[in-house]
Structure 1
């Protein structure tokens, strides 16, 4: 797997980092097999500047070796710079599974609960030979971008903004439609598997599926006789 992680690409008037990541994933899908795009929540603290939510986004690319990292990095870098917004502080990381160690995962976990700095992010990238670059402003986005790779590679954090090359959204879907869209398992919050029937998504927005190991899981709960998608942030 190759992880393309970006953070702080937006300002108050522009589309968010997640939206940009989904657009870039669509472009990359012309040449690469996209596993999905995930969103990861980082530490919400007054000492950490962010636009609306302190989150980063990670595009995950399947079946490519480490030799493709530089090519993907340059391509995504151009996309981010072409979309650069004044007031943003974007950071970009592209890393292959072979470059990721427990220290990278630990950095991601720390980014959810303590204030980190660019120095630690850049030193970690240097030590692991991972491509990291700030693309404007204060370049503080390098912190969240590094964290995103660590969290996404753990396979137990965040939620999917896109499965494969498709956004999965809508007010009502059958379980069969969700499985066809790439959901591996539908589970109630009290542990029951759901294999059929209607799943209601009250707000009609992107389904908040979660990575759990090598599976994409959708959590639901029963309310008034209907199965509804659980909002997991």
Structure 2
């Protein structure tokens, strides 16, 4: 697996990190098979610049030769530069699964609960030999770019923004319909696996990423299943 993470530290005038990630994925998918996109929530603190949620997005792609990494990276970088909005501080990073180490995963989880530095992010990237670049402003997005890769590679953080046909499912849907989208399992908050019944979906299912699988969490109340969204 290859992880391409963007953190565009979007401004009020930008399209948002999730939508930008989907635009990049659509372009990359012409040549490089995209598996999914995950969203990862980072620390919300007054000393950290963010617009609304302080999150990053990771595009998961099938393995390609390492000689192709710079081409893929530059293609995504070009789209980010075209979408750059003054006042944002974007960053982008790319790593193969074999380049992700424990320091990167630890950094990712640290960014969920404390303030970390660009210096630490850049040192981790240098030591792992991965591609990392700030694309404007203070370049603070390099923090989220490295963090997102560590969190995605851990297998147990974030939620899916794009996977199979999840974005096509709205309204009242059966559990079986949900499972046919590419989601691995529907479970209750108590851990009970669910295989039948219906779920009301307002937007689209956004499964949690747990142990490398796409898991839809539901709350069973009064005989009805309700989606539970995790950050």
Q: TM (normalized to structure 2)?
A: 0.95
1:9 Cα deviation from its structure 2 partner:
4.6
Deviation at 1:123, TM superposition (A): 1.2
- Matches for 1:39-58 after TM superposition, within 5 Å: 39-58=39-58
Q: Secondary structure at the match of 1:120?
A: helix
How many residue pairs were aligned? Answer: 231
- After TM superposition, the runs of 4+ consecutive aligned structure 1 residues lying more than 2 A away are 63-68, 164-169
In the alignment, structure 1 segments of 5+ residues that lack a partner are none
| Structure 1 residues 165 and 58: CA distance shift in structure 2, 3 A | farther
Which residue does the alignment assign to 1:206?
204
Task: Note the 1:219-230 alignment, pairs <5 A.
Answer: 219-230=217-228
Cα deviation 1:122-152 (Å, max 9, x = unaligned): 1111111110000011100000111000000
Provide structure 2 residue ranges, at least 5 long, that are not aligned to the other structure: none
Change (3 A) 1:181 1:232: same
Q: Tell whether the 8 Å contact from 1:26 to 1:165 is kept in structure 2 after alignment.
A: no
Aligned to 1:232: 230
Report the alpha carbon displacement of residue 224 of structure 1 after superposing the two structures with TM: 2.7
Asked if 1 retains the 8 angstrom alpha-carbon contact of 2:166 and 2:206, the reply is no
Indicate the SS of the match to 2:94. strand
CA contact (8 A) 2:187 2:194 kept: yes
Q: Which residue does 1:189 correspond to in 2?
A: 189
Q: Secondary structure at the match of 2:122?
A: helix
Cα distance in 2, alignment partners of residues 80 and 9 from structure 1 = 12
Deviation of the 1:232 alpha carbon? 1.7
Deviates more, 1:62-71 or 1:16-25: 62-71
Output aligned runs, 1:134-213, within 5 Å. 134-164=134-164, 167-201=167-201, 204-213=202-211
Q: Give runs of aligned pairs for residues 1-233 of structure 1, distance below 5 A.
A: 1-164=1-164, 167-201=167-201, 204-233=202-231
Contact 2:9 2:51 in 1 (8 A): no
Alpha carbons of structure 1 residues 166 and 27: separation in structure 2 relative to 1, 3 Å: farther
Cα RMSD (Å) of the superposition? 1.5
Tell me by how many angstroms 1:166 deviates.
5.7
Cα displacement string for residues 28-75 of structure 1 (whole angstroms, at most 9, x for unaligned residues): 222222221111111111111111111111000023243332111011
Q: What CA distance in whole angstroms lies between the structure 2 residues aligned with 1:213 and 1:85?
A: 36
By how many angstroms is 1:155 displaced?
Answer: 0.3
Q: Give the secondary structure class of the aligned counterpart of 1:193.
A: coil
